[in-house]
Amino acid sequence: MPETRWLDDEEQGTWRAYIWTNHLLWEALERQLQKDSGIPHAYYIMLVCLSESPDRTMTMTQLASVTQFSASRLSHAMARLEEKGWVRRIKHEEDRRTTMAKLTDEGFSALESAAPGHVGEVRRRVFDPLSREQIRQFHDILSTILSGLESAEESEEDAGPA
Amino acid sequence: MPETRWLDDEEQGTWRAYIWTNHLLWEALERQLQKDSGIPHAYYIMLVCLSESPDRTMTMTQLASVTQFSASRLSHAMARLEEKGWVRRIKHEEDRRTTMAKLTDEGFSALESAAPGHVGEVRRRVFDPLSREQIRQFHDILSTILSGLESAEESEEDAGPA
DNA sequence: CCGACGCGGTTGAGATTTCAACCGACTTCG
DNA sequence: CGAAGTCGGTTGAAATCTCAACCGCGTCGG
């Protein structure tokens, strides 16, 4: 193994800024959503995904893959959302293993009332302070990092037993 | 209240890339740290902060402020770290309310053995794919967002009772 | 058709985080 | 002094997330 290549000052500073930004931004968003609508961000994401899906319906596995949640986490969370009446679980008729999650009207309303505040917060915190040019750069940077992460993900699936 | 200004396509795309990057990056780092050293990232941060502090010691409140953890979270986490023998809590002699957290030698070793893998992962995932120019841009962007978040934080403290 | 295996999803237990209430130690002011 | 308020920190319970085991349905080889 080669000796550790530590981060230089510029990288170090950037990394800490990233950690810190994430931390504060996340907290701000979580708090805003929680106060305004009593929804944790994770649940909000699930509702958004469902709302954008045809018939506001997805199988659990689809939803898990889109949100990148574990099956278990999704299942627990879905139980909560169902209690709130925002989602209904429906057994698939053909393949009786699969469960469909359907966003109810109540769920859609909850989302509608939560969305403006959330979007407003994102805009205020992230995009308003940046120039158009910076937004473009930001997008490029994120896409670059992302593509590396995604290809790493795939190759991990093969990496199971030797 | 003005009508909601939704995100345009460019912003939307950037935002989703951000969410997604965060998600995957976080997962990758957490997993790497966990597998290689059995330390959750939150604990790692605490150890790093202590290790950089004079005498490897900080008061709980200082540590909470640097890491941005709640006092409660910190207290619970510290209890775990103490069980592992990585940190010791010491009562302050003058102000007997305050507790000092001190990184033990074991804790420092644990950190030393965890750090290279973690840094390597960060480098591979984030900095290697980016050009110098992009790193600079990234830093600027994050700093810009950050300064907005920090000033927002201050003003919230006043905002309590009317 | 039968048994083994894989897939979709759930469950329960354990770990972490949050929330609110609390405790003891300073400080301040009458 | 002494009561009230504040500061540093802890605690217990409830919510959430993770991990591993599990259940029922489907599919495939014999």
Asked if A18 and B136 come within 8 Å (Cβ–Cβ), the reply is: no
Candidates A5, A8, A18, A123: best to mutate against B (most CBs of B within 10 A) is A18
Asked if the structure places residue A153 within a domain, the reply is no
Report the C-alpha gap between B5 and A138 in whole angstroms. Answer: 20
Out of A25, A135, A147, whose CB is closest to B11? A135
Give the model's pLDDT for residue A162: 36
Range of the domain at B143: 24-149
Q: Which residue has the tokens 């309590």?
A: B160
How does pLDDT run across B31-52, given as a tens digit for each residue? 888 888 888 999 999 999 999 9
What integer is the mean pLDDT of A131-143? 97
Q: Is residue A150 part of a domain?
A: no
Which residues of A are less than 8 Å from B126 in CB distance? 15, 18, 145
- Name the phi and psi angles at B68, rounded to 5: 65, 30
pLDDT digits (tens, 9 = 90+) for A53-105: 999 999 999 999 999 899 999 999 999 999 999 999 999 989 999 999 999 99
Look at residues A16, A137, A141 and name the one whose alpha carbon lies nearest to residue B130.
A141
Q: How many angstroms separate the CA atoms of A35 and A118, rounded?
A: 11
CB contact under 8 A, A145 and B125: yes
Question: Order of strands across the sheet with A57-59?
Answer: A57-59, A99-103, A87-91
* pLDDT(A157) > 80: no
Q: How confident is the model at residue A160 (pLDDT cuts 50, 70, 90)?
A: very low
Average pLDDT for residues A25-48, to the nearest whole number?
88
Question: What pLDDT shows up at residue A39?
Answer: 85
| Domain presence at residue A30 | no
The answer to whether B132 CB is within 7 Å of strand C is no
Q: Do B141 and A138 touch (CB under 8 A)?
A: yes
Tokens of B47: 């150890």
A34/A112: higher pLDDT: A112
Structural domains counted in chain A: 1
H or E stretch at B90: strand B87-91
pLDDT at A161 over 50: no
> Do residue A7 and residue B135 have CB atoms under 8 angstroms apart?
no
Residue of higher predicted confidence among A90 and A4:
A90
pLDDT exceeds cutoff 80 at A147: yes
Q: Which residue on chain B is closest to A122 by alpha carbon?
A: B15
% of chain A at pLDDT higher than 70: 93
pLDDT for position B162: 36
Closest chain A CA to residue B70: A27
Q: Do A139 and B13 touch (CB under 8 A)?
A: yes
The enclosing domain of A86 has a CATH number of 1.10.10.10
For residue A7, the chain B residues in CB contact (below 8 A) are 119, 122-123, 127
Residues of chain B short of pLDDT 50, as ranges, are 159-162
Strand D nucleotides, any atom under 7 Å to a protein CB: 7-13, 16-21, 24-27
pLDDT tier, A149 (very low <50, low <70, confident <90, very high otherwise)? confident
- On whether residue A58 sits in a domain, the answer given is yes
Which pLDDT score, from 0 to 100, does residue A154 have? 62
For position B62, what pLDDT does the model report?
A: 96
The answer to whether position A158 is within a domain reads no
- Whether the CB-CB separation of B92 and B59 falls below 8 Å is answered with yes
Whether B5 maps to a domain, the answer reads no
Residue B18 included in any domain: no
- B114, part of any domain: yes
Residue A151 C-alpha, separation from nearest chain B C-alpha, in angstroms = 11
Q: CB neighbours of A25 closer than 8 A, spacing ≥ 6?
A: A125, A126, B145, B149
